[in-house]
Structure formats: C-alpha cells, structure tokens
Structure 1
C-alpha cells in the first residue's frame, strides 16, 4: 500500500496545497527550478503554485529571501525548498509541516 504525507493526502480530497514561489527575473537558477517544478506538477497536480517576483515584494520579504531565491514557501511562509528543486525533499518537508 502506498502512503502519502498528510499534506498530500489532504489535497486528494480537498483543494490543492498552495505554495508560493519567490524568484527573480534573469536568474538562471530560478528558471531551472521553475522548469523542474512544472515537470513535477504534471505528475502531481495536487499543488497550486503562486509565483511572485521577489523584487516586487515588501522590504521585509526581500530581506528575508534575497540570498535564497528561488524559494518555495507554504501558507505560513515556512521555507519548503530553496535554491534547487527536489520532488522528494518537497514531499518530505511538507510532511513535517503537518
């Protein structure tokens, strides 16, 4: 039997898990992260990603993440992933949030 982290189990029966991706224009690491995330989402459509340009955020958000983009955070602004994408690490970190 396959078991999924609670965050993923919940999303099968309700709305998608919302995550925010902070990135920046002309950031090659951000572009690569985004491509890998999009590929992952094709197989795991139970996520809703809100993409935000870090430069358009408040000074507090910019200061917090300026050295960590791309960064994927949950609804509570807890960092789920940063710098490099990993589907396994995404699921592991989400399971720790619940």
Structure 2
C-alpha cells in the first residue's frame, strides 16, 4: 500500500458491527460510519499482510434490547464456516439464538 486508508461499512457494502484483526482477535472495535477501520501503510505493505474479520451486531426483541455478535472460532482462518456451524436459528419472538456446532 502506498497510502493509509480509512474504511467505513458503506464503502464496502457491509453492515455495522464489530471488527477484529487476525493477529489480535481479543481487541474488538465497533465498525460503523463513525468508527472506521484505519489501515496503515506502515503495517500493511509488501512485506506483511493484514486481515480483518467483521460480524454484524443484532438485537434481541427482549426487555433490554440485548445486543450480540457471533465471532465463531478465533483460532481458525475462517472463523465461521458451514462445516463447523451449519445452522444459526433465531426464534420467532427474536429473543433467543440457537447455534448448531459440529
């Protein structure tokens, strides 16, 4: 990369959510039109690579409007795959999510 980039969800047709990098999955950031992904050409260049993952933020239809995201398995290249997580179900009332794991 020859310059730094600042990316927001609308630029890549993504929804708002959370964002984390492959090299530090424990540092989670919001990703929305206010909280952009800042990509530095000093870190992401010809001698290194950078990889980020994102997950949408959903809201339950409960009394607290509980918000949640699903990150999958942080020790995998593909955090969420159909081989490992074949189904994600939200109940009719949108108050629970069932994650099927193989």
TM, length-normalised to structure 1? 0.26
Q: Which structure ranks higher in relative contact order (CA pairs < 8 Å, sequence separation ≥ 6)?
A: 1
- Structure with more of its chain in helix, by fraction: 1
Structure possessing the higher radius of gyration over alpha carbons: 2
